[in-house]
């Protein structure tokens, strides 16, 4: 499929083909949400986030927006079309028949919500109550794509109720020690139950005919089954990464760089029983370099492993956060051209380079990178 900057086309099958059109988020009006089950489970007991909620300090929002604007401009200078969401008033509460929250979150990480597979963009269910209305920030863009691209399919997964039945009450305890959390994650006992399908788009890796989905805090098995039924021509694989007591998304744990090469967080190794899928199909799984920082920035949900939350522009070019010198050096040794992007000051608003973007168009087709596997259409 050929791409032209003069017309909108939605098409993206993987994480590495040449990127031509992307959405970059904004930090505007981002809030620290009030306590709720999914948020409580994510925030470590010793975090500076505990006991704080409300609008983030304006000076940090201004810095975050400046960094995101600079990132967007760097992409534009490389000939990539960049669109931006329209923030809503995140100070507004969320009220449904099943729950109420005091405020919302933000729209810095479009990767969490928007899953692009071929000519579809799917709005994920999400599992944080404070993010219930986040899709509204992207609806003007999606409506425009729908009007301009007659092949574009705008899909929305079933909106979950997110009642108390969707969460394990054990995670509501005021203090849960790290050993207990690690035991729970080893046993795949996460904060979300199997009451209804739940998934975040950032738990899905797109690899041509195959979708690799993390079962964890924000994506349950019913959510993975929904994806399997929704994409019947794809092979959908559930993976899990023990070792993180506060797991959220797959893109700071398992990062495809190009066909045949994946970075794996050494503290969250893909278990031996799940590795044959990749190794028998010629994929090399390399331990990611250590982060350059010992702690996340202030008021940040994410771990130091945002170091490996990189954005691949094409199979030879990758964006890496400017201060993550060890990750940059490793990718350089692996034959990639590294583009430094200053974004650490925006981490607190929802993540790193991969998190803060969502693909609209990458060149390329739906290729089969795991040819030894059964064709899903064969039944």
Task: Supply the residues annotated as catalytic.
Answer: 200, 249, 355
Query: What distance in Å separates the CA atoms of residue 128 and residue 150, rounded to the nearest whole number?
Result: 33
Exposure of 6 by Cβ count < 10 A (0-12 exposed, 13-18 middle, 19+ buried)?
exposed
Q: Are strands 210-214 and 204-207 parallel, antiparallel or unpaired?
A: antiparallel
- Determine which helix (DSSP H) or strand (DSSP E) holds 184, and give its type and residue range: helix 178-186
Please report, for the chain, how many H helices and E strands are present, in that order.
Answer: 8, 19
Could you give the count of Cα atoms lying within 13 Å of 261 in the half-sphere of its Cβ?
13
User: Is the CB of residue 80 less than 8 Å from the CB of residue 20?
Assistant: yes
> CA dist 225 to 126, 221, 369, Å?
15, 6, 22
Q: Are strands 120-123 and 153-156 parallel, antiparallel or unpaired?
A: parallel
């Amino acid at each position: 499929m050929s791409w032209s900057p003069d017309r909108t086309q939605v098409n993206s099958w993987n994480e590495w083909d040449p990127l031509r059109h992307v959405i970059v988020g904004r930090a505007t009006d981002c809030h620290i949400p009030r306590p709720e089950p999914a948020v409580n489970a994510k925030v470590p007991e010793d975090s500076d986030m505990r006991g704080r909620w409300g609008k983030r300090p304006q000076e940090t929002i201004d810095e975050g927006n400046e960094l995101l604007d600079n990132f967007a401009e760097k992409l534009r200078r490389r000939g990539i079309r960049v669109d931006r969401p329209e923030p809503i008033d995140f100070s507004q509460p969320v009220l449904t028949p099943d729950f109420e929250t005091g405020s919302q979150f933000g729209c810095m990480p479009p990767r969490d919500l928007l899953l692009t597979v071929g000519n579809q963009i799917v709005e994920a269910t999400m599992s944080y109550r404070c993010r219930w209305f986040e899709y509204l920030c992207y609806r003007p863009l999606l409506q425009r794509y729908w009007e301009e691209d007659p092949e574009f399919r705008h899909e929305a997964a079933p909106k979950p109720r997110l009642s108390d039945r969707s969460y394990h009450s054990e995670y509501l305890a005021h203090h849960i020690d790290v050993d207990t959390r690690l035991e729970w994650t080893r046993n795949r006992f996460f904060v979300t139950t199997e009451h209804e399908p739940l998934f975040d788009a950032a738990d899905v890796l797109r690899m041509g005919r195959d979708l690799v989905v993390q079962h964890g805090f924000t994506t349950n098995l019913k959510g993975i089954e929904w994806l399997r039924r929704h994409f019947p021509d794809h092979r959908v694989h559930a993976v899990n990464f023990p070792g993180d007591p506060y797991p959220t998304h797959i893109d700071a744990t398992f990062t495809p760089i190009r066909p045949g090469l994946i970075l794996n967080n050494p503290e969250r190794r893909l278990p031996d029983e799940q590795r044959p899928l990749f190794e028998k199909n010629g994929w090399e799984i390399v331990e990611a370099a250590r982060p350059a920082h010992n702690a996340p920035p202030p008021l940040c949900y994410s771990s130091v492993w945002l170091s490996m939350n990189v954005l691949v522009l094409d199979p030879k070019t990758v964006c890496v956060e400017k201060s993550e010198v060890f990750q940059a050096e490793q990718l350089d040794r692996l034959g990639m051209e590294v583009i430094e992007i200053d974004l650490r000051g925006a981490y607190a608003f929802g993540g790193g380079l991969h998190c803060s973007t969502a693909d609209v168009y990458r060149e390329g087709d739906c290729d089969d990178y795991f040819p030894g596997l059964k064709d899903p259409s064969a039944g």
